[in-house]
Amino acid sequence: MDVLKKYPATNPNIPVDFESLASLQYTGGTTGVSKGVMLTHANLLKNVQQTLAFFPGFNKGENTLLGTLPFFHSFGLTTCMNISIWMGWTDVLIPRPEPEALLEAVHKYKVPLPGLEWVPPICCG
């Protein structure tokens, strides 16, 4: 928090709208060479809204999420990073999501919804 106080937010005066490029998300290359997919701010926002539509009981500022998936993957970008930002949740980043570390983090940070963004390899560790 000291860093936030030391460097207050500044407006870079760069025009941005919903159709502006927000991210180049690279594909896994499963059908050939990996490709950079151009995602707009609208794409990312709609993806968050679509995901949250499945969980109508979630409230802003009231949850802690375990960030177990890499942000360079579209699933991790949406479920671990963007949803936490949109909802104002605490996002506990887990760089190596192994079962023992996950269970310790659930207990330590009192995560109410562990497993929201987990994938089978994490659960089968």
Strand, coil or helix: what is 38?
A: strand
> What amino acid occupies position 16?
V
pLDDT tens, per residue, the chain with 125 residues: 687 788 888 888 888 899 999 999 988 777 888 889 999 999 999 999 999 999 888 899 988 888 888 888 888 898 889 999 999 999 999 888 888 888 899 899 988 866 666 677 776 65
**Residues facing residue 67 across a β-bridge:** 93
Token pair for 35: 């490709």
